[in-house]
Chains A and B, each alone.
Chain A
Amino acid sequence: MTITLQEQDEVLLLAEARRRGTDPAQFATAALRAGLAALATLPAPHDTAASESASEVDSDDLAWWNQLTPEEQEAERTALRRGLADINAGRTKPAEEVYARIRATYAHLQPAAAEAA
């Protein structure tokens, strides 16, 4: 693997090595190792595709998604496939109809109704 330093990085490394009174080459190697080690501790996304177009992706949701295990991600995808299949097949309802049905189903649990019963 070839690691290329930007000129400004080289200058900074040389300056820091001089300030510390150490060998510039050894200091640069140690600094690079420390940087690579820090990178290695960052959580790797389970799904690299999810990292694409990161600026458009909801960052909170991306953080949540990346902490799921591959099995958990697959479970989410399976649930989503069901919804998309419903949409493809036209199996959708207006929100108002959904809310009205749900409220009617559980109306008996409303405190006043429950007391009356």
Chain B
Amino acid sequence: MNNDEGSSPTPYSIRYADSADAEIEAAYGWIVSHDFAAAERWLAGLHTALLQRAGDHAALPGRRYVAPDAANFPGRDLRVLRYQTHGGSIWRVLYELRDDDNDGNLDTLLVAYVRSASRPSPNNPAASDAE
């Protein structure tokens, strides 16, 4: 998949923290063990949602989508995306926007955290996503 899938081009590249990478793999692994197509929809949908959000930030900069947790992390610019596939669980994606090439423009959306907002049991992390 590349950044052109499912959305208009965005000036942001999208990167995952290693722990967020592990969280995504765990979620995908659980869903795919029940329904391969549902897992693909979930993963492709996540990327599309991030691209749309990045495009939204690019089109209209400003402090929006601030995560409630941000108050506990002074100095961090934490935003939240609530992501949900049709009929699936809600997933919480916390991210920061960065200017990685120091040209004065934000260019990177860094995902710090991807977790189910429905917080089901550890053995069933995303039950409704596989239904």
Which residue, of B16, B32, B80, has the highest number of chain A Cβ atoms within 10 A?
B16
Does B9 touch A at the CB level, under 8 Å?
no
Main secondary structure, interface of B, reads mixed
Please state if B28 and A106 are interface contacts (CB–CB under 8 Å): yes
Please state if A72 and B119 are interface contacts (CB–CB under 8 Å): yes
A94 to B1, CA, bound (A): 11
Please indicate the chain A residues that have their CB under 8 angstroms from the CB of B15 in the complex: 92-95
Please indicate the chain A residues that have their CB under 8 angstroms from the CB of B28 in the complex: 102, 106
Pick the residue among A52, A76, A87 that contacts B17 (CB under 8 A): A87
Q: A58-B80, A87-B17 are in contact. Are A102 and B63 (CB under 8 A)?
A: no
Does B33 touch A at the CB level, under 8 Å?
yes
A57 to B112, CA, bound (A): 18
Main secondary structure, interface of A, reads helix
Please state if A106 and B29 are interface contacts (CB–CB under 8 Å): yes
Closest A residue by C-beta to B50: A95
Query: In whole Å, how far is A55's beta carbon from the nearest beta carbon of chain B?
Result: 9
User: Interface size of A by Cβ–Cβ distance < 8 Å?
Assistant: 42
Please indicate the chain B residues that have their CB under 8 angstroms from the CB of A50 in the complex: 68-69, 71
Indicate with 1 or 0, residue by residue over A54-67, a CB within 8 angstroms of chain B CB atoms.
00111011101110
Does B21 touch A at the CB level, under 8 Å?
yes
Q: Interface residues, chain B, CB within 8 Å of chain A? A: 1-3, 13-21, 23-25, 28-29, 32-33, 36, 39, 43, 47, 50, 63-73, 76, 78-80, 82, 90, 92, 94, 96, 110-113, 115, 117, 119
Q: Interface residues, chain A, CB within 8 Å of chain B? A: 47, 49-50, 52-53, 56-58, 60-62, 64-66, 72-73, 76-77, 79-80, 82-84, 86-87, 91-96, 98-103, 105-106, 109-111
